[in-house]
Structure 1
Amino acid sequence: MHMKFSEDSENNYFFSQPHQPFFILSFVNAIVIMLIFMLSYKGIMNIAISPSNFHAYGLTYLLFTPAFLAFLFTTFPRFASTPIIEKKDYMSVFSLYYLGSAIFILGSIASPVLSAIGMIMVFVGHVMGVLILKNIYTTTTMEDKHDIYWILLAMKFGLLAHLFFIIGELFYMPLVGLSTEVSNYLYLFLLTFSVAQRMVPFFSHSMAGRNDYLLKVVFTLLLLHIVLEGVYTHSSFIVDILVGVLIGRELLRWKLQFPNPNPLLWILHTALYWIPIAFIIGGLTNLISLTTGVSFLALDIHILILGFVFTILIGFGTRVTIGHSGNMMQADQWTTRLFYWTQVVVGMRILVSLAAAFGWNFMILFDISVTVWLLMFIAWAVRFFAVLINGKKLTD
């Protein structure tokens, strides 16, 4: 795929808004990374780094991070009432991300040196992306910086986790574990929740005012979770249950209509309800693992990241794609089915963990869970890539 960014991007629709190239890259990476992970996990293919580390790095920094940048480069200036981000700025980040992703993926198959170069290029792109957001934060004249403060803080933790991962992978492997904890809780979850607690009540016309202490308390508990897990694995179960109860109570306060007849809201509400489920089940399974040694194959993280972060990513990503292409802000049958399919993806991954915990052979379920993931992203691509690439108008 040869792209002369400097020439083509001048008058190309595809590069005219930041969310378009970043979403495409994110979704292509989602398909490629999961395919390679499946083949390497089953021993069909040898890769340069361990399959689980490839899986964690690929999905955190090559799927979720470009998707976050797609969303934030579009909405962060609006949140902060500042001018839109200039094309040359987001294109320089995209170029590094695109090349870094390709080199990392090729390197994971061909050579550890190449994969390290790819990771460093992606990291530099990540740094540049966060600096663009930081610049918006420092130049805004808005009085109320509450939401953009938390979004930017979570992005900074993403950078820290990214740095830990690269150092860990190249020099000191125990850092990878810390990187994963920080990226899951203080980056992927905290960032998505910071955006969701602002946007979802607004879209849903919820009359509940903002709870200014919520993010502070959640952040403190997540820090405590990471410290406890660092001291002794699975020891954070009380903190996890606390977070689940706290956020569950907050969601009830918002009085969101559920199930909502509008699929574009239904998917956002569904994603939010996975948060208390993820933390409470995570707490209980951590307690079981602590006392019996049974492994749940990272069930807590998968419910949180797939149930909440992935589901809301599809919801927000679809919304931004439709809304910024001049299409009607409504979900047709195809989109509605895609939204239901997100829950099949979550459900299948939960079954994989439960099968592992019961000591059954979970490889068939593993294959099915990867297949439903791939179908999800392929079906989304079939529906929306043309909208992102050339502004196609959707008809049923």
Structure 2
Amino acid sequence: MNDTTSLRYNDEPVLLAFAFRPFFLLTALYAASLVAAWFAFLFGGLPLPLGVNPIQWHAHELLFGMVPAAIAGFLLTAMCNWTGAPPLKGSGLLALVLLWAAGRAAMWLSGWLPLWLVATIDLAFLPAMAAYVARVLLRHGNYRNLVLVALLVLLAGADLSMHLGFSGFWPPGGRLGEILALDLIAAIMVVVGGRITPAFTANWLGMQGQDPALVRRSEVLDRAAFWSTVAMVPVDLAMSFPVPASLIALIAALVNGWRLLAWRGWKASAEPLIWILHVALGWIVVALLLKAMTPWLALSPSVWMHAMGAGAAGTLILGVMTRVAMGHTGRPMRLPRMAIWIYVAIITAGLVRVIAAFVPQLAYPGLSVSTVAWVVAFLLFVLIYWPILSRPRADGRPG
């Protein structure tokens, strides 16, 4: 096989051999370009053809542009392991990628296109992915993971809410959709993190000659962590009960924190590919605590929202992508040279962004540092992982 010409495997481009390949690269490229353009728009006067509220456009593209691409890369890959089903590849995968890209183009050109058309194009991706995932899971009797399909459908509903706000048909929908999206993304991270983090930690401890049983897993605690997080959705949907919302966020923080401590992440502090997952899930706990404190300390909602978005989602996305890209391309399960700076940069971006939300006087310098760190993190992923994701597997297997 000649990987110096068109990089094909079985007559298909390598980039279309498995969903994680194109979607991980697109996630990183879009994350970097979106935040850089947003900063240039805010402070450099970069003209953007936006027909919607700029702040909510920024939130929308992170929550419904970047994050769903990362979810697609992970979920469409992981479910092959869960079910034994063949991967979505070739023209089918290309169609899904183009559907995602069409939504991004429509949102960037929302000032030139009718808003109903923008909404129609953008809203197509999540239902299409959910329908495909549901069909595969049902065909193989994998009912346990249908909860992720339900969360994707609800996430599409949050996207619809934002578009109703953009159009003026339902003005509160913009803000509500943003909050519900963060709630649902938190729930997805709780599910995904609960599946992979303790398993990877226990396996690593076993390979180091330590007792894997140090990682204490509990189905009861897993269910409590999930349902306490999901319970924020109906309360936030009401939009007028800050005290119950605060209490539920506090319960979710305590349960998720208890579960995370039971996994003994510090025992794997020598392995970056594992401790970064624990850090990401720790961000969820911090974000939930900040959400619980918001009405009592009169905090700006921006604080907990950026802790959940820039902190938890940004860190977990890079943590998962850096690991999956190695394991699913037949390479040794270790962080490539210089890739540790991806983690340093994304942790810096999250911390500084939350501090800037806490202290309005630090808004400009904080946004500047956070933007640079965020862009560096995702561009480093592209630079380091492009050769890995665009070339055939190192072990010669398909995929």
What is the TM-score with the length of structure 2 in the denominator? Answer: 0.85
Mapped contact 1:256–1:269 kept (Cα < 8 A): yes
The AA in structure 1 aligned to 2:248 is V
Equivalent residue for 1:330, pick from 331, 334, 343: 334
- SS of alignment partner, residue 45 of structure 2: coil
Q: Tell me what 1:52 maps to.
A: 55
Is residue 87 of structure 2 the alignment partner of residue 84 of structure 1?
yes
1:62-101 correspondence runs (5 A):
62-101=65-104
Mapped contact 2:186–2:284 kept (Cα < 8 A): no
Mapped contact 1:151–1:195 kept (Cα < 8 A): no
The AA in structure 2 aligned to 1:254 is W
Aligned equivalents of 1:322, 1:199: Cα separation in 2: 15
Q: Tell me what 1:384 maps to.
A: 385
The AA in structure 2 aligned to 1:221 is A
Q: Tell me what 2:43 maps to.
A: 42
Q: Tell me what 2:23 maps to.
A: 22
1:89-141 CA-to-partner distances (Å, cap 9, x unmatched) read 32211111123323432x14x5253x764543232122211110111222123
Mapped contact 2:165–2:171 kept (Cα < 8 A): yes
- SS of alignment partner, residue 298 of structure 1: helix
Question: RMSD value over aligned CA atoms?
Answer: 2.5
**How many percent of aligned residue pairs carry the same amino acid?**
17
Query: How far does residue 14 in structure 1 lie from its aligned partner after superposition?
Result: 1.5
Aligned equivalents of 2:353, 2:322: Cα separation in 1: 22
Q: Tell me what 1:3 maps to.
A: none
1:128-164 CA-to-partner distances (Å, cap 9, x unmatched) read 111101112221234xx33x13222211111111122
- SS of alignment partner, residue 42 of structure 1: helix
Q: Tell me what 1:304 maps to.
A: 308
1:375-396 CA-to-partner distances (Å, cap 9, x unmatched) read 1111111111222223497xxx
The AA in structure 2 aligned to 1:388 is L
Q: Tell me what 1:213 maps to.
A: 223
The AA in structure 1 aligned to 2:310 is L
The AA in structure 2 aligned to 1:287 is W
Is residue 365 of structure 2 the alignment partner of residue 368 of structure 1?
no
Aligned equivalents of 1:235, 1:96: Cα separation in 2: 39
Equivalent residue for 2:348, pick from 337, 344, 351: 344
Equivalent residue for 2:320, pick from 316, 322, 329: 316
1:272-311 CA-to-partner distances (Å, cap 9, x unmatched) read 122222211222233111xxxxx53611011122222221
1:151-300 correspondence runs (5 A):
151-170=148-167, 171-186=169-184, 188-205=185-202, 206-211=215-220, 213-215=223-225, 217-227=227-237, 230-232=239-241, 236-258=245-267, 260-289=269-298, 295-296=299-300, 298-300=302-304
Aligned equivalents of 2:23, 2:10: Cα separation in 1: 14
Query: How far does residue 235 in structure 1 lie from its aligned partner after superposition?
Result: 6.4
Aligned equivalents of 1:233, 1:41: Cα separation in 2: 31
Mapped contact 2:216–2:262 kept (Cα < 8 A): no
- SS of alignment partner, residue 246 of structure 1: helix
Bigger mean CA offset, 196-205 vs 232-241: 232-241
Aligned equivalents of 2:139, 2:120: Cα separation in 1: 29
Query: How far does residue 29 in structure 1 lie from its aligned partner after superposition?
Result: 1.4
The AA in structure 1 aligned to 2:133 is L
Bigger mean CA offset, 205-214 vs 10-19: 205-214
Q: 1:184 to 1:218 in 2, by over 3 A?
A: same
Query: How far does residue 59 in structure 1 lie from its aligned partner after superposition?
Result: 0.6
Q: Tell me what 1:139 maps to.
A: 139
Q: 1:378 to 1:119 in 2, by over 3 A?
A: farther
Aligned equivalents of 1:57, 1:234: Cα separation in 2: 26
Q: 1:10 to 1:94 in 2, by over 3 A?
A: farther
The AA in structure 1 aligned to 2:126 is H
Mapped contact 1:22–1:70 kept (Cα < 8 A): yes
Query: How far does residue 74 in structure 1 lie from its aligned partner after superposition?
Result: 0.6
Structure 2 unaligned residues grouped into runs of 5+: 1-7, 203-214, 395-399
Q: 1:235 to 1:367 in 2, by over 3 A?
A: farther
1:105-144 correspondence runs (5 A):
105=108, 107-108=109-110, 111-113=112-114, 117-142=117-142
Query: How far does residue 271 in structure 1 lie from its aligned partner after superposition?
Result: 1.0
Aligned equivalents of 1:8, 1:232: Cα separation in 2: 55
Aligned equivalents of 1:246, 1:95: Cα separation in 2: 39
Query: How far does residue 224 in structure 1 lie from its aligned partner after superposition?
Result: 4.6
Mapped contact 1:258–1:269 kept (Cα < 8 A): no
Aligned equivalents of 1:55, 1:19: Cα separation in 2: 24
Aligned length in residues:
371
Aligned equivalents of 2:10, 2:94: Cα separation in 1: 8
Q: 1:271 to 1:374 in 2, by over 3 A?
A: same
What is the TM-score with the length of structure 1 in the denominator? Answer: 0.86
Query: How far does residue 253 in structure 1 lie from its aligned partner after superposition?
Result: 2.6
Bigger mean CA offset, 32-41 vs 374-383: 32-41
The AA in structure 1 aligned to 2:368 is D
Q: Tell me what 2:210 maps to.
A: none
Bigger mean CA offset, 117-126 vs 90-99: 117-126
1:3-33 CA-to-partner distances (Å, cap 9, x unmatched) read xxxx999521121111111122222211221
Aligned equivalents of 2:383, 2:306: Cα separation in 1: 26
Structure 1 unaligned residues grouped into runs of 5+: 1-6, 290-294
Q: Tell me what 1:4 maps to.
A: none
* Higher RCO structure (Cα 8 Å, ≥6 apart): 2
Q: 1:194 to 1:218 in 2, by over 3 A?
A: same
Q: Tell me what 1:150 maps to.
A: 147
- SS of alignment partner, residue 147 of structure 2: helix
